[in-house]
């Protein structure tokens, strides 16, 4: 069974702090996507990483794909209350027709 485990599961931090969310698997993925879902809404695509070792920045968010394409991380610098939400990683395991979602990290940033 291909799984995407995210850690931590829950995170509550103060505005201005930095944080990192991890997405790990024992399987190789063709790519990984990161989504953010706000309460009562559908997930919104943030970024796609494709190449092993790739780093992408989206304002204060930095996404990295592991060299072996089995893991990814999301780092947020100087978190703001608007960053609050459920962060999901997802992707297609290589050589399959599946699309797997991670277990999710629920982030709350306090003002």
Partner 1 sequence: DVKVTQSSRYLVKRTGEKVFLECVQDMDHENMFWYRQDPGLGLRLIYFSYDVKMKEKGDIPEGYSVSREKKERFSLILESASTNQTSMYLCASSLEGPGLADTYEQYFGPGTRLTVT
Q: How many residues bind partner 1 (CB under 8 A)?
A: 25
Does 67 contact partner 1 by CB under 8 A? no
Q: How far is the CB of 33 from partner 1 (least distance, A)?
A: 6
Neighbour tally for 17: CB within 10 Å: 13
Per-residue interface string for the shown chain with partner 1, residues 70-99, x marking contact by CB under 8 A = ------------------x-xxx--xxxxx
Please name the residue that has the structure tokens 């190789």.
28
CB 53 within 8 A of CB 65: yes
Strand partners, 59: none
Site string for partner 1, 21-60 (x = CB under 8 A): ---------xx-x-x----xxxxxx--x-x----------
- Name the site residues for partner 1 (rule: CB under 8 A): 30-31, 33, 35, 40-45, 48, 50, 88, 90-92, 95-99, 101-104
């Amino acid at each position: 069974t291909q799984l995407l485990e995210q850690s931590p599961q829950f995170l509550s931090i103060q505005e201005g702090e930095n944080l990192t969310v991890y997405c790990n698997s024992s399987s190789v993925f063709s790519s990984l996507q990161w989504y953010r879902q706000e309460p009562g809404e559908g997930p919104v695509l943030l970024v796609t990483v494709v190449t092993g070792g790739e780093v992408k920045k989206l304002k204060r968010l930095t996404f990295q794909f592991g060299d072996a394409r089995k893991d990814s991380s999301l780092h947020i610098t100087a978190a703001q209350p608007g960053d609050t939400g459920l962060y999901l990683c997802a992707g297609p395991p290589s050589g399959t027709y599946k699309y797997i979602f991670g277990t999710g990290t629920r982030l709350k940033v306090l003002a």
